[in-house]
Amino acid sequence: MLTERQVLILESIIRFYTETGHPVGSKTLMNELSLPFSSATIRNEMSRLEELGFIEKTHSSSGRIPSVKGYRFYVDYLISPEQLPAQEVAKIRSAFGPRYHELDEIVSQSANILSELTNYTAILLGPKMQENKLTGFRLVPLSEHQAMAILVTDQAHVENRTFTIPPGMKLADLETIVKIFNDQLIGLPLTEVFKKINVEIPQILARHLHTDSDLFVDVFGNIITHTIRERFYVGGKMNLLNFSEFQDIEKFKSIYSLMDEGNNLRTLISRKSDGIHVKIGQELNNDLFSDFSLITATYQVVGHGEGMIALLGPTSMPYSKMLGLVDTFRNELADKVSDYYRFLEE
Amino acid sequence: MLTERQVLILESIIRFYTETGHPVGSKTLMNELSLPFSSATIRNEMSRLEELGFIEKTHSSSGRIPSVKGYRFYVDYLISPEQLPAQEVAKIRSAFGPRYHELDEIVSQSANILSELTNYTAILLGPKMQENKLTGFRLVPLSEHQAMAILVTDQAHVENRTFTIPPGMKLADLETIVKIFNDQLIGLPLTEVFKKINVEIPQILARHLHTDSDLFVDVFGNIITHTIRERFYVGGKMNLLNFSEFQDIEKFKSIYSLMDEGNNLRTLISRKSDGIHVKIGQELNNDLFSDFSLITATYQVVGHGEGMIALLGPTSMPYSKMLGLVDTFRNELADKVSDYYRFLEE
DNA sequence: TGTTAGCACTCGATGTTGTTAAGTGCTAAA
DNA sequence: TTTAGCACTTAACAACATCGAGTGCTAACA
């Protein structure tokens, strides 16, 4: 195990490196942080810390930087989330609007707020939809040739799609279709709805209708797919340029397009257990992100499932501060989402 | 006026510079492009061309590059749009989907197609909405506390917004409100609707309703604003990194956020006359874009107004080819949009 | 036995210098 | 009017020296 002095030195190295970004050597450590040992002693200890894998050199005569193992130890045993100053908390609260009409607005704005607060990249996920239950389909005729299909779930999620009505289809037909959809599907979880819509529904429709009804299966199937698919909201993509080693423009582009497409983000963020987790560098299992760390946290909305927050920054981030911030933020966000639902149920 | 030989030399300089990106000198010009004059003669002519402002040096002993005036002359008098190979045209056609349900889908996908085709950044604008006439508001109750407001225009544009119904408001009230909106507003151009909604409507509502109706004025006002606002679709933002002098990361960020916000793009693109226009470097009147050129073109959709295409690339782009491409593209896009409307009116 | 001073060594960063290639303008001859 | 020739300029590049911050190791010290 590490001696107390070794821990102190490791901590100092991480502190210094996080602040300056430069590898740090024995003399600097002694002078700048006025550790009460000689540089030679520190050198010996550093040598030991390197053997143990907590720090490493960038080249044979350079100062040391923390290794993943070093950060890991630091995060797991040496720090605790820093309390956010009241003033910062107020800033978060006032960044949210007073009132939202859709859940997605809250989540997507959260991504922006969090990224601005940290200057890193924020990735947000709303409470998951898969288990929402269908409360109804609506089909609203808009003009002679247009109609809107609307899906509503028991979690107040609304999804809609405008489409063109095939010539020859009558209003009565539309009503029949909606009735069939609703009779068969209301109350089922969306995953079930999705299955049924692709298997049973087409058969039932064929029995009751003479016109071609593929279009409707398509449209409604489409809405369901859209609803079920996890939507990642990414804020501060451009912040990547601040902390990524921006020399490598190609790497930046790869990361950017990963963020932009959104669905591939699952590879990065696994929806596992509760609480706050930190993944450092290679722990992310993705070469692109070997210089990044990711803080992930869930937020609980009682009665409405849980969502996810993630913060992507450089491995050399101020973990203590960021952990505190994410923790506070998830509570604020949970409150905001609760408010939203409460207002709906009032 | 320029002599024929001077024109030939200017043209050669532009060709060479566009291909290689390097300033070009007299000897290179003579060798590489085998002009039938000696380097000394070319030197003299270049000197003259520089005096006249068509070309310039990057430093005292460097080769020459075309100036804005040089490009201007080249674009205006020396080239004509290049015919796009049939194979490329086919590529454009197949890049579009077979069938669209919303106009915005066509336009936004166009932005992607065009940017991929050129490796530049494409900016698209759909036919303008301001003169669309309102054909109806709908208010669809979704659950006890939610409703959707829908706007439909005579150009088949649909815009919608979900909102929460204030507690205590009854279904009958909603119906009254929608009736008033429709009685007052149907058939008016959206700009008119916008004005009335902010002035007369609140008064009328107050006369007929006891509950607070600000929310509805808000919601519908909001939808109108959204509909009227020009939406710029930008494709290939990341391509900026290919041709912008990517040394300057801050500049890139500025441009990116300009593109991202969208509404500021009006400063760059003026919706003026028909046809295809080229703006080169400083002609864009924006320091950020001094190394860029912008090709703008309108596309006509008979009976449904006109839209806009713009292509942003480096000043040293192959104008002839790009002009041809933009010209072809705008025809294809116009066709696609016409198809969309035709299907609706069938 | 743990701590420290001293020293030779390493390596990236930075600066200096020289060389080369591609260009220019100018002059004088064809 | 055109061209050959020449002196001059500049960016780009490579080779080289210098410097600063670091290391490991050894020997002396408390």
How far is the C-alpha of A231 from the C-alpha of A74, rounded, in Å?
33
Residue B315 phi/psi, 5-degree rounding, is -55, -30
Task: Give one word for B275, left, alpha or beta, with left for phi > 0 and alpha for psi -120 to 50.
Answer: left
| Domain shared by B243 and B334, yes or no | yes
* Domain closes at, from A228, A250, A269: A228
CB contact under 8 A, A158 and B148: yes
| Domain shared by B197 and B238, yes or no | no
| Domain shared by B97 and B245, yes or no | yes
| Domain shared by A221 and A244, yes or no | no
* Contacts of A333 by beta carbon, 8 Å cutoff, 6+ apart: A106, A110, A299, A307, A309
| Domain shared by B214 and B293, yes or no | no
Cα of B329 to nearest chain A Cα, Å: 25
How much is the pLDDT for B28? 95
| CA of residue B44 to C1' of nucleotide C30, angstroms | 18
The domain spanning residue B182 has which CATH number? Answer: 3.30.390.10
| CA of residue A62 to C1' of nucleotide C15, angstroms | 21
| Domain shared by A156 and A252, yes or no | no
How far is the C-alpha of B239 from the C-alpha of B118, rounded, in Å?
9
Residue B346: pLDDT over 80:
no
Helix B4-20 crosses helix B39-51 at what angle (to 10 degrees)? Answer: 90
Residue B23 is encoded by which pair of tokens? 């300033």
| CA of residue A61 to C1' of nucleotide D19, angstroms | 15
| Domain shared by B217 and B268, yes or no | no
| Domain shared by B189 and B237, yes or no | no
Chain segment A65-77, per-residue pLDDT in tens: 999 999 999 999 9
How much is the pLDDT for A346? 67
| Domain shared by B120 and B251, yes or no | yes
Report the residue of chain B nearest A163, measured CA to CA: B101
Residues from chain B contacting residue A138 (CB–CB below 8 Å): 140, 142
Cα of A86 to nearest chain B Cα, Å: 31
| Domain shared by A246 and A157, yes or no | no
The domain spanning residue B295 has which CATH number? Answer: 3.30.450.40
CB contact under 8 A, A142 and B164: no
Residue type at position A273: S
CB contact under 8 A, A143 and B160: no
| Domain total of chain A | 3
| Domain shared by A243 and A265, yes or no | yes
CB contact under 8 A, A162 and B253: no
Chain segment A287-345, per-residue pLDDT in tens: 999 999 999 999 999 989 999 999 999 999 999 999 999 999 999 999 999 999 998 87
Lowest mean pLDDT among A217-231, A264-278, B318-332: A264-278
Which residues span the domain enclosing A321? 86-128+231-345
The domain spanning residue B16 has which CATH number? Answer: 1.10.10.10
CB contact under 8 A, B249 and A256: no
Chain segment B266-304, per-residue pLDDT in tens: 889 887 768 899 999 999 999 999 999 999 999 999 989
B167 touches chain A (CB under 8 A): yes
Cα of A221 to nearest chain B Cα, Å: 15
* Matching residue, tokens 């923390």: A66
Residue A177 is encoded by which pair of tokens? 């279709």
* Domain closes at, from A175, A210, A228: A228
Q: What percent of chain A has pLDDT over 90?
A: 77
Residue B52 phi/psi, 5-degree rounding, is -80, -10
| Domain shared by A109 and A251, yes or no | yes
Residues in a beta bridge with B159: B151
Residue A246: pLDDT over 70:
no
* Domain closes at, from B228, B249, B278: B228
Give the N- to C-terminal CA distance of chain B in Å, as an integer.
Answer: 57
Residues in a beta bridge with A187: none
**Mean model confidence pLDDT for chain B:** 93
Length of chain A: 346
How much is the pLDDT for B246? 66
Scanning A121-189, the segments in alpha helix (DSSP H) are: 171-185
